[in-house]
Amino acid sequence: MSYDPREARGKAAIVGAIDIASPTGMLDKKGRALEMQMIKGALDDAGLKVTDIDAVFSCMGMMPSMELAEYLGITPRYTDSTMTGGSSFEVHVEHATAALTLGLCDVALILYAQTPKSSKGDMGGMAGMMSMMGASPMAQWDLPYGLGTPSASYSLAAQRHMALYGTTSEQLAQIAVSTREWAMMNPNARFQEALTIDEVLSSPMVAAPLHKLDCCLVTDGAGALILTRADRAKDLRRDPVYILGTGTAHTHAMSISQMPDITTTSAAISGPKAFSMAGITHDDVDVLMTYDSFTITTLLALEDLGFCKKGEGGAFVEDGKLGPKGSFPTNTNGGGLSYTHPGMYGMFVLVEAVRQLRGESGPRQVPNAKLAVANGCGGVLSACSTVVLGTEETL
């Protein structure tokens, strides 16, 4: 007997969502104090208590979900410390949805907090994963040739895309400009000043063809989500945001030298899976929240998720389509390029999607947003996880 993932469509919902970032890039709290602030905020948002939580999802630390549960003084029925880098939180939503649908838990907590800006030497996100890799393809084939930083690896993807499809630096820069236009309407964004394509292109070259302003921020940030079954969600404090579709895939671990095609990410697999489960088409999507560690990351996601054909991402974005005046609102909080990026941005993708569907995004609110796609990308273009969210259980 085969399992049809569509059976889980709309059976779980996000009922609590919170994140925190600062225009300074730094937060006053760190460690457990910051985590507790996020958990309390998400629980208050949902109208639930710590004792209601019976599933814990956390990926920072040696045994993170177990350590967090111990600190909270709870005994979960479900625990998950899956780590796929920046897409971990989308994976957690997928796992929590399955667990809730199967009755393995009733209330799930997903948590992330990291303060690399204010905690000098705090090894989190990409740096933390690299420090633990030991003997690996990256150590043998990447590091000796100068590919020890994400920017160098991502630059290869950008160079290859340019060589194959004629993509230009101006087109990549337009992604940064459109994202900044959203950040200008977000009082918590790290960068809120207007940005031009020329300013992106004149910023220092980090790894050709990627300029400094093609690259994500390094800031403090944190967030948390509370999920529960759809039937229970209707009785809680906030309007539920239903999980309609999920999909995950990964093509390699950390070494871009092991990536089968450096212009195609595993979102080409996770996206269709999530869309099929949700039963939607691309025309149904009102807003896209996608990982933007670099401008090339956004461009590849647009193609691999199917919003445009492979190789047409540059032309797709060059008219400002992703910005506030464009036809396809994307990364409406300002993204990892201008809002915040503590090392693993996937939590903020989900929180902003929830806010848009609740109508809580203030001046950057997309009118009548009913369906959102949140796409995480972890490692070095390695692991993608896609979540389709909606305001209704069924379409």
Rounded average pLDDT over 300-329: 98
**Those residues with Cβ within 8 angstroms of residue 287's Cβ, 6 or more apart along the chain or in another chain:** 329, 330, 332, 353, 356, 366, 369, 371, 372, 373
Rounded average pLDDT over 132-147: 68
Token pair of 337, please?
A: 């390029």
Task: Output the pTM of the full model.
Answer: 0.94
- Confidence grade of residue 146 (pLDDT, cut at 50, 70, 90): confident
Query: How far apart (Å, rounded) are the C-alpha atoms in residues 348 and 35?
Result: 15
Token pair of 383, please?
A: 């692991």
Angle subtended at Cα 311 by Cα 215 and Cα 156, rounded to the nearest 5 degrees = 40
Alpha helices in the chain (DSSP H): 31-46, 64-72, 88-101, 125-131, 137, 150-165, 169-183, 197-202, 230-233, 267-278, 295-304, 313-317, 346-358
Rounded average pLDDT over 207-236: 97
Query: How far apart (Å, rounded) are the C-alpha atoms in residues 90 and 122?
Result: 23
Q: What is residue 123's predicted lDDT score, i.e. its pLDDT?
A: 45
Backbone angles phi, psi at 10, to 5 degrees: 75, 10
Tell me the three-class secondary structure of 14-45, residue by residue: EEEEEEECCCCCCCCCCHHHHHHHHHHHHHHH
Rounded average pLDDT over 19-28: 97
Would the pLDDT of 223 be above 50? Answer: yes
Q: What is residue 4's predicted lDDT score, i.e. its pLDDT?
A: 75
- Confidence grade of residue 132 (pLDDT, cut at 50, 70, 90): very low
Based on the number of CB atoms within 10 Å of its own CB, is 367 exposed (0-12), middle (13-18) or buried (19 or more)? Answer: exposed
CB atoms within 10 A of CB 394: 10
Domain 5-121+216-390: homologous superfamily in CATH: Thiolase/Chalcone synthase (3.40.47.10)
Q: What is residue 6's predicted lDDT score, i.e. its pLDDT?
A: 77
Q: What is residue 3's predicted lDDT score, i.e. its pLDDT?
A: 63
Rounded average pLDDT over 242-264: 95
* Least-confidence region, from 4-18, 130-144, 227-241, 244-258: 130-144
Residues 339 and 347 sit within 8 Å (Cβ to Cβ): no
Nearest CA among 230, 219, 192, 225 for reference residue 352: 225
Say which amino acid occupies 263. T
Q: What is residue 137's predicted lDDT score, i.e. its pLDDT?
A: 73
Mean confidence (pLDDT) of the chain:
94
User: Is the previous residue joined to 209 through a cis bond, with omega within 30 degrees of 0?
Assistant: yes
CA 156 to chain centre: 22
Nearest CA among 98, 65, 61 for reference residue 80: 65
What is the DSSP track for 136-176? SHIIIIIGGGT--SHHHHHHHHHHHHHHHH---HHHHHHHH
Query: How far apart (Å, rounded) are the C-alpha atoms in residues 329 and 369?
Result: 10
- Confidence grade of residue 148 (pLDDT, cut at 50, 70, 90): low
Would the pLDDT of 121 be above 80? Answer: no
Would the pLDDT of 131 be above 50? Answer: no
Nearest CA among 193, 225, 176, 187 for reference residue 362: 187
Token pair of 197, please?
A: 């394509």
**Those residues with Cβ within 8 angstroms of residue 211's Cβ, 6 or more apart along the chain or in another chain:** 169, 173, 200, 201, 202, 203, 204, 205
Q: What is residue 61's predicted lDDT score, i.e. its pLDDT?
A: 84
- Confidence grade of residue 394 (pLDDT, cut at 50, 70, 90): low
